[in-house]
Amino acid sequence: MAEHTILVVEDDSTVRELLKYRLGKHYEVYTATNGEEALDQIEETIPDLIISDIMMPKMDGFALQSALQTDKNTRVIPFIFLTARADEEARQQGERKGVDDYITKPFDMETLLSRVERLLERIDMFQTQLDAEIGRDFSNRLLPDETPEIGGYELDFYSESREQGGGDLFDWTETDEGTYFLTIGDVMGKGLRAKFYAFSFLSYVRGTLHTLLEESTSPAALMGELNDMLLNDDVLEDTFATFLLLHWDPHAHTITYANAGHCRPVLVRPDGATIHEHSDLILGLEEDVRFSEVSLDLDPSTALVSYTDGLTEQHTQDGSMLGEDGVRDLAVEAYGGDAPIQALLDGVLSRSPSDSFEDDLLVVWLERLAD
């Protein structure tokens, strides 16, 4: 299927079929003989561009363009008027109504094709810029402005998006007892769609946790409740996410977590590091899933490293993916420095043929400092 769709509105069958044939070599083209037919077509499919005659029976081109201006979903469709009316008054009327181009019959087909191509390229460029801006806004909303400052601990994170990025998210919630829930996740998908669902999902998690924490602080129980509520939500019922829910008690120096299909965290100590072999089903697949939880002691000089698959799926020099073992080894090398996350990222790229990351990524480093 062609990348762009064009609606040709023309009552002259010869001109209409000629445009359909020539434009159809490059775009998906559908046609209408007047403005009323065009509105019926647009109810089914909103085109990327409309090429319309002005003088037509039932509803002319100006009336069609005015009708589309009343609907927020169609008012931004670009217009090219194609007409035998060459007078300046008609041209000015089209410009006042926001028409993008105005071509007088008889026309040169190559000139028309060139103008269509330039207009669609301009639309694509604008859409790319808009998507990037929206993507940056969503990215900022998927991350906290700051992290809690707790004596004897360092908590830091790093996030990076490719293009519009995907659905990586990180947040934290403080309980009444002075403990913290850290939420780290990756909503399935790419680009703005994933970011939108990640933002909706994170908003949902924030509100749900606030309610559920009144009854339980068990990560496994909370994960089960989140999963069931997610499956019964009209907006998010088809959303799938890997999710890590950690309950951090800085007073007891413990971490208890439940893992719904997410990358397994790495526990780094002065004598080495271990990957905790625990992961349950991802969120959004099945109801009534029983999640389990793991408890870890955070001894002095111990760090827990959580991350998304942008790290594990980075390719190395031999073409293989870095994997969890690679993350573990590089976390050991990064441990003990002033900027362990940056050291970890530098280590990943040093093993890669690329000087940048292939996918969006998130790293959260929680370390209990030496006494």
Q: What is the pLDDT of residue 344?
A: 97
198-221: average pLDDT? 75
Q: What is the pLDDT of residue 284?
A: 82
pLDDT at 97 over 70: no
11-23: average pLDDT? 91
Q: In degrees rounded to 5, what are phi and psi of residue 266?
A: -110, 130
pLDDT at 311 over 50: yes
Q: What is the pLDDT of residue 1?
A: 40
The candidate with the shortest Cα–Cα distance to 293, out of 251, 241, 244, 363, is: 244
170-176: average pLDDT? 88
Higher-scoring residue by pLDDT: 98, 17: 17
Q: What is the pLDDT of residue 303?
A: 97
Cα dihedral 159, 163, 164, 170 in deg (nearest 10): -10
Q: What is the pLDDT of residue 341?
A: 97
CATH number belonging to domain 5-136: 3.40.50.2300
Left, alpha or beta for 319 (phi > 0: left; psi -120 to 50: alpha)? Answer: left
Q: Identify the band that residue 95 occupies on the pLDDT scale cut at 50, 70 and 90.
A: low
329-344: average pLDDT? 95
Higher-scoring residue by pLDDT: 135, 270: 270
Q: What is the pLDDT of residue 294?
A: 93
How do the domains of the chain map onto residue ranges? 5-136, 142-368
What pTM was estimated for this model as a whole? Answer: 0.65
How does pLDDT run across 38-63, given as a tens digit for each residue? 999 998 889 999 998 888 888 888 88
Q: What is the pLDDT of residue 161?
A: 76
CB 121 within 8 A of CB 128: no
217-246: average pLDDT? 83
Indicate the average pLDDT of the chain: 84
pLDDT at 102 over 70: yes
Q: Identify the band that residue 3 occupies on the pLDDT scale cut at 50, 70 and 90.
A: confident
Percent of the chain's residues with pLDDT above 90: 41
190-217: average pLDDT? 68
Q: What is the pLDDT of residue 144?
A: 78
pLDDT at 94 over 60: no
160-187: average pLDDT? 81
Highest mean pLDDT among 15-19, 120-124, 207-211, 248-252: 248-252
Identify the CATH class of 142-368: alpha beta
